Amino acid sequence: MSTSANSQPSVALAEATASAPPSRHIRTFKPRRGRITVAQNNAIDRLWPRWGLEIPAEGEELDLARLFGRTAPLQLEIGCGMGDAVVAMASAKPDLDFLAVDVHTPGLGNVLRMAERAGLTNVRAASGDALDLLRRQIPSDALDAVHIYFPDPWPKARHHKRRIVRSEVIALIADRLRTGGLLHCATDWAEYAAEMLVVLSAEPWLRNRYPGCGYAPRPTHRPVTKFEARAVREGREVFDLSFTKI
């Protein structure tokens, strides 16, 4: 995103998200406004021109080597929240690159802030619809892993069509994964977890890494966020699903 020194990219990002024209495909997220802290806004002002990108509704394939300044296996987190998971994974695996996607400006600012504080150079942030990114800017067999942690469960039955874990989206993700690549999902909604298991198991290019029980053990690379800790306190079980591209 190009900005002048006196512009406010955080505000521009929020306004762009809220006023985006209707897309031809079903949205899997609800645009939301949130208070952005001084530190998050400062991180966007300083780091977005180098470490951030806005996902266009129409766009050419990403030049990943240019985006990261090197060629390395790429992992994508869809819905990065406040960045706890992606920063932890990037810290543990400096030889991999991580692209964090969200529509929430404070969260993206926090990703950049945390990455800088941790001295990371293998994290980038993208603002917009992850499905636009996957459809138009990520080529087939390009991703080492895709992480979808605690996506919006759209609990009302009439909204289930908006869930990101549905057959056509999973087919798209499977195409973008390299052979042997990982798709890892997590949710604290039992009903959604059961649906995820059915959808992922039905995708012919994916294989469950834990076919015996269906669900995966909780991985050590995924930190316990405030969101997950609250779910556990409120008595909701957390379900992980881990599938490999074959």
Residues noted as catalytic: 152
- Burial (CB count <10 Å: 0-12, 13-18, 19+), residue 165: buried
Alpha helices in the chain (DSSP H): 9-18, 38-51, 64-68, 84-92, 105-117, 130-136, 167-176, 190-202, 226-233
CB 58 within 8 Å of CB 136:
yes
Please, which residues bridge with residue 208 across strands? 243
User: CA of 25: how far to CAs of 11, 142, 215, in Å?
Assistant: 26, 23, 29
